[in-house]
Homo-oligomer: A and B are copies of this chain.
Amino acid sequence: MKERALIADLLAPIATHPAARGLTDDAAVLVPPLGRDIVLTHDMLAEGVHFLGDEPPEDIAHKLVAVNLSDLAAMGARPLGVLLGLGLSARQDDAWLAAFTAGLGEACTCWSAPLLGGDTIAGLDRLVLALTAIGQVAPGAALSRSGARAGDDLWVTGNIGDAMLGLAVARGGHADAAPEVRAALFARYRRPEPRLAFGAALAGIASACMDVSDGLLIDAQRLAEASGIAITVDLARLPVSRAAEAIAAAPIVLATGGDDYELLFAAPRGNSHAVADAARRTRTRVTRIGTISTGAGLTVRDASGADVTPGRLGWEH
């Protein structure tokens, strides 16, 4: 399919927001909400690096949008729209493109992040996807990684480690687990959910926030470093799903897995009720998993209080 046809037949029909100008101009023109700060993030995903390549195209589109919106969620921002960079190889035929753009349109609609523009190129050896997400937040209210203070608690949303187990399932692992267990884990890997509503509710409550993409422990270490404080993670408190429990995955392993896209955040002790209230309003599971103190670095403790900090904390790029 020629770029022109791809834009006219598949992308323009889902780019219905007025800012997209029907994808006919050189750029999108957005009238931003007055007086709000603009939040901008950009992520690339490549076949063979971030996904296997033989996933359903809808799932690839979902993940591309989700991982970018997860960055907005980590800043406490609400989406305004996305720009797509679509780098195609010869293997993406018309059927693939139709399925991918359908999945993209669904994800954009689901999370109120309209497609505003972008670029498509062809002739690559493998699929390379880029997405830019634009969001908005109240002036000065954007969260950061650097605001955690000694005495704050460390919290995390959802369950940790399911995506890692889901990737193993996708590769044929955990073959002896019950089908519903395998399906639940696989779904979490295929369809990460950006914590947009909860992230937005955290603005003004959390002192620091980031999304967990490379592993809870390595990301906690990064938060500690950015904030100039020490973090202690209480491994016994790690929130795990029933599916992860069913296959008896070790918490220390789950805490080093990637692709969770949960929010890891710090909040002053006095805001604990506000955190719980935000979680209730947005129907989000939150768990207090650690403490923040003066010093530096990450310590992981087990139920007995012993230091069980592993050598490898997660994915390093």
Contact = CB atoms under 8 A, between A and B. Distances in A.
Interface of A: 2-4, 19, 21, 24-32, 34-35, 37-46, 48-50, 70-72, 74-75, 77, 81, 83-87, 116-126, 128, 130, 132-135, 137, 139, 142, 144-146, 210-211, 226, 316-317
A27 B75 contact: yes
Given A26-B75, A77-B27, A83 B42 contact: yes
B74 A144 contact: no
B41 A28 contact: yes
Contacts of A134: 38, 40
Contacts of A49: 121-124
A71 B42 CA distance: 19
Nearest to A134: B40
A27 B316 contact: no
Given A25-B210, A44-B119, A44-B120, 17 more contacts: A2-B317, A4-B316, A26-B70, A26-B71, A26-B210, A26-B211, A27-B77, A29-B38, A40-B132, A41-B117, A42-B83, A42-B117, A42-B130, A44-B85, A44-B87, A49-B121, A120-B317
Copies of this chain present in the complex amount to: 2
A39 B44 contact: no
Nearest to A128: B128
Nearest to A48: B123
B316 A50 contact: no
Contact of A126 (B27, B43, B124): B124
Highest count of chain B CB atoms <10 Å: which of A26, A46, A139: A26
A203 to B, nearest CB: 12
B119 A43 contact: yes
Highest count of chain B CB atoms <10 Å: which of A34, A75, A133: A75
Given A40-B116, A71-B26, A83-B132, A46 B121 contact: yes
Given A31-B37, A32-B32, A128-B128, A24 B145 contact: yes
A21 B128 CA distance: 27
A39 B34 contact: no
A130 B316 contact: no
Nearest to A77: B27
Contacts of A35: 34
Contacts of A118: 42
A24 B128 contact: no
| Those 6 A-B pairs whose CB atoms lie nearest each other, nearest first | A27-B41, A3-B317, A42-B83, A26-B71, A130-B130, A132-B132
B4 A317 contact: yes
Given A74-B26, A316-B4, A40 B117 contact: yes
B21 A144 contact: yes
Contacts of A137: 29
A87 B85 CA distance: 12
Nearest to A116: B40
A24 B71 CA distance: 12
B117 A316 contact: no
Nearest to A125: B125
